[in-house]
Amino acid sequence: MILLASPGQGAQTPGFLQPWLEIPGVADRLAWWSAVTGLDLVRYGTEADAEEIRDTAVAQPLLVAAALAAYEVLYEDALREDRRPDAVAGHSVGELAAAAIAGVLSPEAALVLVRERGRAMAEAAAVTETGMTAVLGGDADEVLASIDKHGLTPANVNGAGQIVAAGTMERLAEFANEPPAKARLRALSVAGAFHTEHMAPAVDALRGLAPGAPVADPRTRLLQNRDGAVVASGAEFVERLVAQVSAPVRWDACMDTMREIGVTAIIELPPAGTLTGLARRELSGVERVALKTPEDLDKARELIKADAA
């Protein structure tokens, strides 16, 4: 069983889209999606520096567009027969790409929602100076207790010894001065405390928009970040997507579900590496392919062909 995984904000790096533009049709697709998002996705994915693509309103549409473009290349033949991967999951904003791959949203609807999601989250982040810090290692219960002690939120519980604390910069500084035992802290290059109460205004904005989106039920297993559940209703999944903006991402629960449903291989869409890295430490025996460049396509296609046999 193959699961396609779409990464979240922070995975982007300058120029990561460049090699994908050499594939016929990709530049045209991104030009169309640039019109949908109001952003020059090709420029942001090839020429923009790290600070430009750190902007939430830019990073989120860029990530979803990149994942969808690579998915269409990877599944080019299968899509003609309306065949999809056995399961799909996205981390945070990657859930918008996952929803499109599963058939819950069209690519254009997913990109409209992510455009507005990015804008709304950027506006919410501008209200108070906030940030996120990765906590690597340490005892999970002790880490969570320390995060709570400092008035922070465990915004991402990623498994494999990685939890992300989020909140005001003042509280993050206090947390850094008194870190959990045997844990390393790494400040993340993001523009706010995503998946916390600070994003409540963005949730309100999306709740006013999402009901008008054309939605269908998923045509493959679709995992959701709140609790790792496989969601069978498209409307429910979109409702969860909206609420997730201010709620913690439980990627650990998603990996638990992958194990329970028998996932045997994970293909991570670009900009790939983060989620396959977590799977390497958490999902023993599961094959992994990180689609970092088109050179990785052959290996991914071999997995898909073997799975279909």
Please state, in angstroms and rounded to a whole number, the distance separating the CA atoms of residues 160 and 140.
Answer: 10
Examine the residue annotation and report whether 195 is marked as an active-site residue of this protein: yes
Please state, in angstroms and rounded to a whole number, the distance separating the CA atoms of residues 278 and 285.
Answer: 13
Q: Which of 34, 92, 146, 246 is catalytic?
A: 92
Question: Any idea of the CA torsion for 133, 87, 83, 213, to the nearest 10 degrees?
Answer: -60
Contact 117, 37 (CB under 8 A): no
What is the per-residue DSSP string for 267-293?
EEPSS-SHHHHHHHHHSTT-EEEE-SS
Q: Which of 146, 195, 198, 246 is catalytic?
A: 195
Contact 238, 215 (CB under 8 A): yes
User: Token digits for 66?
Assistant: 């990149």
Distance between alpha carbon 7 and the CA centroid of its chain, in Å? Answer: 4
Please state, in angstroms and rounded to a whole number, the distance separating the CA atoms of residues 74 and 294.
Answer: 9
Number of other CB atoms surrounding residue 291 within 10 Å:
27
**Helix 251-261 vs helix 274-282: crossing angle, to nearest 10:** 60
Please state, in angstroms and rounded to a whole number, the distance separating the CA atoms of residues 22 and 33.
Answer: 17
Sequence length of the chain is 309
Please state, in angstroms and rounded to a whole number, the distance separating the CA atoms of residues 262 and 245.
Answer: 28
What is the per-residue DSSP string for 165-184?
EEEEHHHHHHHHHSPPTTEE
Contact 109, 103 (CB under 8 A): no
Examine the residue annotation and report whether 233 is marked as an active-site residue of this protein: no
Which residues are known to be catalytic? 92, 195
